[in-house]
Amino acid sequence: MAQDAPRFHVPAPHVRPGDTPDFSHFELQPAGEAKRPDTSVPGMETRDLALGLIGVLDHNHQAVGEWDPKLQPDVLREGLRHMVLTRVYDDRMLKLQRQGKMSFYMKSTGEEAVAVAGAMGLGKDEMVFPSYRQQGILFARGRDIVDMMCHCISNSRDNLKGRQLPVHYTWAEGNFFSISGNLATQFPQAVGYALGCRYKGDGQIAASWIGEGSTAEGDFHGALVLASTYKAPVILNVVNNQWAISTFHGIASGEAPTFAAKGLGYGLASLRVDGNDFLAVYAATQWAAERARKGHGATVIETFTYRADAHSTSDDPSGYRPKGENEKWPLGDPIARLKNHLIGLGEWDEDRHAALEKELNELVIASYKEAERYGTLHDGPLSPVESIFEDVYAEQDWRLRRQRQDLGV
């Protein structure tokens, strides 16, 4: 039977289902306070930045402090558009999954700024090794929505030939590597790619994203060792959305004060950023990209955010966290914050915002109609059956040829 007290420490979140959401224990450095050092700063001198929180948008939705990237209103509106599109797309895809149109789906709701501002701060030419929750990068890079949907419904136009689960995109043309279902594997790969960039001398850099839960994997630590040892031109983003399926961030962090602080242990420049602040994520990414390009090495960026929805369509968060936690998230919603900032600048208004949402909703609905013309998972057409034997190797050997015959295709 249960002991009175556990015999060793097992961390538990402050609140559980039935409790009132409560983030009062979080100590968050106010926007505008963090200093912005030169991008050549030695890694260890970023200690305050790894333990603090880089924020630009304050409570009044104004851009404050040294990290303000001072973006033109057009750029801000573009970012807002990509984030709204990401959310609208996610919402629609979830509905379609519920209707049986695809086998599985994963939303990025609440985390749109991480991917969109990260991608925009980086630029389109750099290589990205994302996890499964950065679909916003694809929108920021202008990928065709119909193509994205064709992948998710595994139809005849799926560029991955029905081989991957939905949302596990690949888009070589957009410098977007293959998303793996195996956590953390992309992190050291990105370092290798970045070293390849140095080797080739073409000036390209690489960036990767990993969930905070996945930082427990050996591959995370391997990536940091490599990046530090070889001063790789790479940006290593830890998306701390507080949850790894049902386990809260404390299971991965233990006694570590922040996830960014883990980078310090490897001597890497390490920043902790308000992940729901478009401007802060943009600015931190720009900083890290400049550092990489100038040969000063890698940066670890923890984006502090909240997974507002379920882990995936296979998950129901009501079993492990209080309902309504996302509404209590102290750093708000990334879309609302950028929108209010633009309104404050006199560069946006509610009517334009409503019109944007309507336009993007219609775009997504029309795109899905078009995508379905290339087939659906259930009714086909799919990629030809014989394609399951292709791309295992460059050439099919006798085994695969014979097996294909056995299948009668």
Partner 1 sequence: MNMIQALNSALDVTMDRDPDVVSFGEDAGYFGGVFRVTANLQKKYGLDRSFDAPINEAAIVAMAIGMAAKGLKPVAEIQFADYIFPGLDQIVSELSRIRYRTAGQFTVPVTIRTPCGGGIRGGQTHSMSPEAFFTQIPGVQVVMPSNPYDAKGLLISAIESPDPVIFFEPKRLYNGPFEGHSGGALASWGKHPKGEVPEGHFTVPIGKAEVVREGKDVTIVAYGTLVLVAQAAAERAGVDAEVIDLKTLVPYDIETIARSVNKSGRCIVAQEAPRTSGFAAELAAQLQEECFYALEAPIQRVTGWDTPYPHAHEWSYFPGPERFINAMHAVLEA
> What residues make contact with ligand TPP under the rule CB under 6 A?
131, 133, 181-183, 211-214, 239, 241, 243-245, 307, 311
Binds 133: which of Mg ion, partner 1, ligand TPP, none (CB < 5-8 Å by kind): ligand TPP
The only residue of 136, 211, 332, 334 in contact with Mg ion, by rule CB under 5 A = 211
**Which span (99-107, 165-173, 204-212, 388-396) binds Mg ion, by CB under 5 A?**
204-212
Site mask for partner 1 (CB under 8 A), range 13-42, x = bound: ---x--------------------------
**Which span (135-143, 247-255, 256-264, 276-284) binds partner 1, by CB under 8 A?**
247-255
Task: Give the position of tokens 């009501």.
Answer: 318
The only residue of 18, 181, 201, 324 in contact with partner 1, by rule CB under 8 A = 181
Binds 208: which of ligand TPP, Mg ion, partner 1, none (CB < 5-8 Å by kind): none
By C-alpha distance, which of 208, 132, 115 is closest to 167?
Answer: 132
By C-alpha distance, which of 268, 209, 263, 284 is closest to 240?
Answer: 209
User: How far apart are the C-alpha atoms of 180 and 22, rounded to whole Å?
Assistant: 34
Strand-pairing partners, residue 209, are 237
Tell me the Ramachandran region of residue 61: left when phi exceeds 0, alpha when psi lies from -120 to 50, beta otherwise. Answer: left
The only residue of 90, 147, 217, 277 in contact with partner 1, by rule CB under 8 A = 217
Q: State the first-to-last Cα distance of the chain, in angstroms, to the nearest integer.
A: 58
Contact 99, 93 (CB under 8 A): no
Provide, rounded to whole angstroms, the least separation between the CB of residue 296 and ligand TPP: 28
User: How far apart are the C-alpha atoms of 346 and 284, rounded to whole Å?
Assistant: 25
Provide, rounded to whole angstroms, the least separation between the CB of residue 187 and partner 1: 13
Contact 48, 55 (CB under 8 A): no
Where on the chain is the footprint of partner 1 (CB under 8 A)? 1-3, 6-8, 10, 12, 16, 103-104, 154, 158, 161-165, 168, 180-184, 213-214, 216-219, 244-247, 251-252, 254, 314-315, 319-320, 377, 382-383, 385, 387-389, 392, 399-400, 403, 406-407, 409
